[in-house]
Amino acid sequence: MGRGIMKPFTVHFGTMGSAKTALLLMKNYNYAVDKGKEVLLLKPSLDNRSKKGFIESRVGIESKALEIDKKTNIIELIESLENKPEFIMVDEIQFFSSKQIIQLKDLTILDENPITVDVYGLKNNFKGNLFGEEDGSMATAFSLATHLDPVNCLCACGNDAHNVARFNPETWEIQKIGEEIKVGGNESYVSLCYRCFKEDYIPRSTRIALIKDAISKNINPIKKEELEKQYSIENELYLEEEIDYLRNQIEKNEAKILELRAKSNNHK
């Protein structure tokens, strides 16, 4: 006895800067443009970092998307559309409510034309907990997933980054308490591995990249001068650290050579 088809509900998750959005846009391109499928893109209206009505990636690609606020009933929205989508791809799923995530899941078991749903989002908040401290958005997404797709990203120390840290750009101090979503503050975020996150450590090369980025945004001239000073100090320290590291390696190798020579002499 048939109980009707169920389509996949895939959660693609990672940290900030892990190119989740670029992956979404490439998949959309492949499905909608190459294969001519009916794809609907959704994004939260809360996301004010990108252009209104578009999903855009830092790598320079974008596509039109419907903006959804927390009050929208997504099932009703889909029913009201003239062209019913075959696929729905959602960016920044962590900003949707648990109720809306369940609505997205329920679209995969519609009696008529069930929809394949792909959602992309941040796994952790800056405290290191699953995102969605208000109503458990990411816990809901994970519990409903038929497929999980980790999107990897590197910490500057070389380990895989699985955490997002919030820090004060003036002091580099990592903050682990406060509101999950802060609007209009002067906090910044960076993706770190568990070790760096746990030790409250922002790798120097990350700091240098962040300062360079701030300089290029050219906020104000006084600030710029300060940043440039900071940039040269950090760069100097970075080089010194690299030299120390290499010197250390040389010393270790020299000690090893002496050890091997001694062994070789004993054998004679």
Contact between 193 and Zn ion by CB under 5 A: the answer reads yes
The position carrying tokens 């099932």 is 75
Residue 92 among the catalytic residues: yes
Nearest to residue 126, comparing CAs of 68, 51, 202?
Answer: 202
In the bound state with Zn ion, the residue whose beta carbon lies nearer, of 36 and 158, is 158
Q: Which residues, other chains included, contact 86 with Cβ-Cβ below 8 Å and sequence gap of 6+?
A: 37, 38, 39, 113, 115, 116
Interface with Zn ion in residues 126-165 (CB under 5 A): 155, 157, 159
Query: How many Cβ atoms are within 10 Å of 188's Cβ, its own excluded?
Result: 16
In the bound state with Zn ion, the residue whose beta carbon lies nearer, of 73 and 159, is 159
Compute the least distance from the CB of residue 193 to Zn ion, in Å: 3
Stretch that binds Zn ion, among 84-92, 105-113, 124-132, 193-201 (CB under 5 A): 193-201
- Helix 137-144 / helix 98-106 crossing angle, nearest 10 deg: 20
Compute the least distance from the CB of residue 118 to Zn ion, in Å: 29
Compute the least distance from the CB of residue 166 to Zn ion, in Å: 16
CA distance 106 to 146: 13
Q: List residues bridging with 44 in a β-sheet.
A: 68
Compute the least distance from the CB of residue 161 to Zn ion, in Å: 7
Size of the site for Zn ion (CB under 5 A): 5
Compute the least distance from the CB of residue 195 to Zn ion, in Å: 5
Q: How far is CA 43 from CA 53, 179, 204, 239, in A?
A: 8, 22, 34, 42
Compute the least distance from the CB of residue 237 to Zn ion, in Å: 17
CA distance 140 to 121: 12
Contact between 196 and Zn ion by CB under 5 A: the answer reads yes
| Residue 181: both structure tokens together | 């979503």
CA distance 196 to 51: 32
Stretch that binds Zn ion, among 51-59, 83-91, 191-199, 256-264 (CB under 5 A): 191-199
CA distance 190 to 161: 10
- Helix 221-267 / helix 204-217 crossing angle, nearest 10 deg: 160
Among the options 67, 86, 92, 187, which is catalytic? 92
| Residue 33: both structure tokens together | 């443009």
In the bound state with Zn ion, the residue whose beta carbon lies nearer, of 61 and 157, is 157
In the bound state with Zn ion, the residue whose beta carbon lies nearer, of 32 and 153, is 153
CA distance 127 to 95: 16
In the bound state with Zn ion, the residue whose beta carbon lies nearer, of 74 and 122, is 122
In the bound state with Zn ion, the residue whose beta carbon lies nearer, of 140 and 191, is 191
Catalytic residue annotation? 92
Chain contacts with Zn ion (rule: CB under 5 A): 155, 157, 159, 193, 196
